[in-house]
Chain A
């Protein structure tokens, strides 16, 4: 299969232009994760320097895990709108009447969704890390500034965002209503929340091995999801509302 970088770039550029023209799209994406992460971060600042190491480790671990939910939650709406939104605004038919392949369209849209999502996630990570450096106790700071922690945050953000985007796009490609697609895509964050909750309640012990396994699973899912979502993308169904 030959893919055209020109067409993928055209879709990417168009999507980013639309985001820029409607700044509410991106600005509203930031609000929910900030609210979501505010309390756990505040808890970090309440951990005293004399706190036992286990408390520090658990508090920091749980907060950093919650940070990883941000790249899952943020792109869900964008991804859910990606295909059904085109249909809703009447632009899907002219778009599909061009030589673009469904793989190119989906990849361009996925890249367009991942760029702001990962950027937002990284900015929030940076704000949290800098805040901890500025105001948290020394044990908390030491626990946060572990190279493995930072690397995990940096590596997992795009993997999780991609996972969320492919699920959202799969829903978008099969939905008949924008609202339904957006509601369903928010459910894409549930598995990530579930894993986070299980770790937080120490049902699963966080460890480097677990991180590596989860990363490997995400890599495999992300790499195959593109083809899977492409297979779900049925031109005829999207245009006529009737499956081919």
Chain B
């Protein structure tokens, strides 16, 4: 280990704005902020639920206010970005071999999208029914 590691000087706040793929990388990384914030909204909801109907209904009103809806729309956009970026690297993250041959990446990715659609529809039907 060197005593004084070299750190290449880069503009710390803006380096990722100059190239499309760096920007997409940072959008992908930023999805965690929205997923974390949405988790916090769910946790607060559980806590309000425990405080009774009045507290829970007030929470629902906040979630369903224009500001609450705006937050959820932004969170949804980032969550979808997370989903697509996550699925699209699955052939690299977990390459599959079947009968001595590499399973084509498109097949692995496609299977994830189909599974995603099935899970989402099942949940929507279960909750809405």
Is chain B a partner of chain A in the same complex?
no
Query: Could you tell me which A residues sit within 8 Å of B by CB distance?
Result: none
Query: Could you tell me which B residues sit within 8 Å of A by CB distance?
Result: none
